[in-house]
Structure 1
Amino acid sequence: MTEREPFRQNRIGRTDITVSELGYGASALGNLYQEMPEDEPRRIIDEAWSQGVRYFDVAPHYGLGLAETRLGAELREREGYTLSTKVGRILEPNEDTSGNDLENLFAVPSTHRRVWDFSAAGVQRSIADSLDRLGVERIDIALVHDPDDHYEAARDHAFPELARLREQGRIGAIGAGMNQWEMLADFVTHCDLDVVVLAGRYTLLDQTAAETLLPLCQEKGVSVIAAAVFNSGILATHAPNPDARFNYVPASPSIVDRVSRLRRLCDEHGITLPQAALQFPLRHPAVASVLVGASSDAEMRANCENMRAPVPEEFWDALMNEDLTGPAWVPA
């Protein structure tokens, strides 16, 4: 397998941690939606590595720890990568293991149950459990995961404990990962964060984080990692999809129309929607990396190729001229 030059590395906040401009979000390794063949994780990580990806993100939530176990096994003999995982959900053994976890989207036996825990003790246990599953001695980036309904616990307990672990050198950088920007902005304002993982709120279709969160991150020296840049799949393919979903629900007529306009603009400039969707977030100076999933080596390869494909500057100009970006978008 021919190796490409690694993607450019960007620094996280004011730390010495760096991430590649394209990262792999490993939720699929937890059997997201369906079981993954046992040899597929190796093919995916081999492909990502050969294509130059050096940032990998995972969480205990993904497949009740399976994604962490699989990712750790594939990274164990490699060097020079950055790894992030998350805290907030403790995995407790289930007495009844006869069911499955499909209600949480993962095709795995229900050997464990998730327990929300943003306490200092919960953070300590979550990190220790993740280190064990991943088979590493240190977490590069630790993220508070989906604290939407646990704001005070995250602010008053989880973040201070992560900061203490960072001071001890047991964690390289700390932050939060969420599907909303408003609470992230509050955390950036009141907590000592290095990074936020922003899912679906700074994309070709949804730039609601651009006016407040992104400038705030620039001001505070907090890096942004853009995730869910395909907005649940509607931007993942160039061909029209009548069953397309936007932010986990069927796309509205207005969204379908906007995607059609974006597709026509891409055609005019000889590029595809996935190329534009992957590269758009990095045009903003606050964004350090784009995090994307893949359930096969072919998907991983396509993502890397789409990230590297040249996009003419005229396309980005046309986005603004045709009112297809939000008013707060900042070109590179």
Structure 2
Amino acid sequence: MARADVSFSNAHDTDPFGRLSYGAAALGNLFQAVDDETAAETLATAWELGIRYFDTAPHYGLGLSERRVGEFLRGKPRDEFQISTKVGRLLEPTPERAHLKDDTWFDVPAATRRRWDYSAEGIRRSLEDSLDRLGLDSVDILYLHDPEQFGVHAEIPGAVQALIDLREEGLVGRVGVGTSDVDILRSIVRTADIDLIMLSNRYTLLNREAADELLPECRERGVGVVNVGVFNSGILASPTPRDDAHYEYGAVTPSVLAHARRLADVCRSHGVELPAAALQFSLRDPSVLTVAVGAGRAEQLRQNRAWMDAPIPEALWGDL
């Protein structure tokens, strides 16, 4: 199977992703538990709002996110949505630890453990396990997850080739890599025949590290970008950044907070809320196909949709 064609002329308007997509980490109980009813309502709201691309991963709640997303999407026409999941972590039962909590950011029992496996066999098994949890016959996109993690760097080329082999066999539609490590992404884009990257926290109003070399490389080589983390862990998710906001998964520093507040002031001078600009900013680059954001509740999704659709005067971008 040849690499899927990606057109960068107004790509987010013509590609099946749509401008706004849903990242389902919150449905794996990221930071706090979400009950099944709330999770189902959130997914139904995403569909109601026109969202048709859903991203999940085994890592998210030890498979809980995949199970919830799959249960919802099984009731929808298969040709009306895109779904992606990830490989790199295999889930193995640990029933003896079921009385404990998972030792990551996910509020779930530790009845399963994650084991890094970037081998071709492990990647195939991971896909099979994900399909079982999803209850689907296929996924549209498969990403290599977090290759920046310690100990797996030497295995990245083989893992990427294993993904490409799955695509060539017709087992997945598109393949890519998801990480915040711009150097790793740039190397893979230059050397491997991938379709997409999932870029985390590196092309935002506060961090434009990807703009200098990575995004031009993606445009040149026909690699689409799914941009995530555009709120930089939360600091850009409020019209006025808060003192207790998070940045890059930690406490915000005074200098970053001051920078974010200056951005908010510029937005306000144009009658725009900061989160609206944060959501729409990266879509100005033609390689960015969609912005995927997470939400654990329906009202958060409705707010994100409103911000994504808010009118923004062209002059704002120049001032920012």
TM-score (norm. length: structure 1): 0.89
* Residues matched between the structures, number: 307
- CA contact under 8 A between 2:21 and 2:53: conserved in structure 1? yes
**Residue 273 (1) aligns with residue 266 (2):** no
The CA distance in 1 between the partners of 2:308 and 2:5, in whole Å, is 20
After superposition, residues 222-301 of structure 1 pair within 5 angstroms as: 222-301=223-302
Q: 1:6 is matched with which residue?
A: none
Percent identical residues = 44
Of 101-110 and 35-44, the range deviating more from structure 2: 101-110
The CA distance in 2 between the partners of 1:279 and 1:135, in whole Å, is 33
Tell me how far 1:167 sits from its aligned partner: 1.1
Of 214-223 and 32-41, the range deviating more from structure 2: 32-41
The CA distance in 1 between the partners of 2:141 and 2:254, in whole Å, is 39
Gaps of 5+ in 1: 1-10, 320-332
Partner SS, residue 281 of structure 1: helix
Q: 2:29 is matched with which residue?
A: 31
Q: 1:81 is matched with which residue?
A: 81
**Residue 124 (1) aligns with residue 133 (2):** no
Q: 1:192 is matched with which residue?
A: 193
Q: 1:323 is matched with which residue?
A: none
The one-letter amino acid of 1:294's match is A
- The structure-2 alpha-carbon separation of the partners of 1:312 and 1:12, relative to structure 1 and needing over 3 Å to count, comes to farther
The CA distance in 2 between the partners of 1:88 and 1:147, in whole Å, is 8
- CA contact under 8 A between 1:44 and 1:296: conserved in structure 2? yes
The CA distance in 1 between the partners of 2:144 and 2:61, in whole Å, is 18
Partner SS, residue 53 of structure 1: coil
- The structure-2 alpha-carbon separation of the partners of 1:47 and 1:95, relative to structure 1 and needing over 3 Å to count, comes to closer
Tell me how far 1:12 sits from its aligned partner: 6.6
Partner SS, residue 202 of structure 2: coil
The CA distance in 2 between the partners of 1:244 and 1:264, in whole Å, is 17
Partner SS, residue 303 of structure 2: helix
- CA contact under 8 A between 2:201 and 2:207: conserved in structure 1? yes
**Residue 53 (1) aligns with residue 51 (2):** yes
Aligned-pair Cα RMSD in Å = 1.5
The CA distance in 1 between the partners of 2:101 and 2:314, in whole Å, is 45
Q: 1:13 is matched with which residue?
A: 6
- CA contact under 8 A between 2:240 and 2:261: conserved in structure 1? no
TM-score (norm. length: structure 2): 0.93
The one-letter amino acid of 2:87's match is V
The CA distance in 1 between the partners of 2:94 and 2:276, in whole Å, is 43
After superposition, residues 93-242 of structure 1 pair within 5 angstroms as: 93-148=93-148, 149=150, 150-156=152-158, 158-242=159-243
Partner SS, residue 211 of structure 2: coil
Partner SS, residue 113 of structure 1: strand
Structure 1 stretches (4+) deviating beyond 3 angstroms? 11-14, 98-102
Partner SS, residue 123 of structure 1: helix
Tell me how far 1:99 sits from its aligned partner: 3.9
Tell me how far 1:30 sits from its aligned partner: 0.7
The one-letter amino acid of 2:240's match is A
Q: 1:3 is matched with which residue?
A: none
The CA distance in 1 between the partners of 2:15 and 2:125, in whole Å, is 23
Of 159-168 and 207-216, the range deviating more from structure 2: 159-168
Q: 1:43 is matched with which residue?
A: 41
The CA distance in 1 between the partners of 2:241 and 2:192, in whole Å, is 42
Tell me how far 1:258 sits from its aligned partner: 1.0
Tell me how far 1:52 sits from its aligned partner: 0.9
The CA distance in 1 between the partners of 2:254 and 2:95, in whole Å, is 46
The one-letter amino acid of 1:142's match is L
Structure in which a larger fraction of residues adopt helix = 2
The CA distance in 2 between the partners of 1:168 and 1:24, in whole Å, is 28
Tell me how far 1:282 sits from its aligned partner: 0.3
Partner SS, residue 207 of structure 2: coil
The CA distance in 1 between the partners of 2:213 and 2:241, in whole Å, is 32
The CA distance in 1 between the partners of 2:184 and 2:99, in whole Å, is 34
The one-letter amino acid of 1:38's match is D
Tell me how far 1:151 sits from its aligned partner: 2.2
Of 268-277 and 29-38, the range deviating more from structure 2: 29-38
Q: Deviations over 1:127-179 (max 9, x none)?
A: 000001011111100000001131221212x2112111111211000000002
Tell me how far 1:314 sits from its aligned partner: 1.2
Partner SS, residue 241 of structure 2: coil
The CA distance in 2 between the partners of 1:280 and 1:146, in whole Å, is 24
Gaps of 5+ in 2: 8-13
- CA contact under 8 A between 1:204 and 1:277: conserved in structure 2? yes
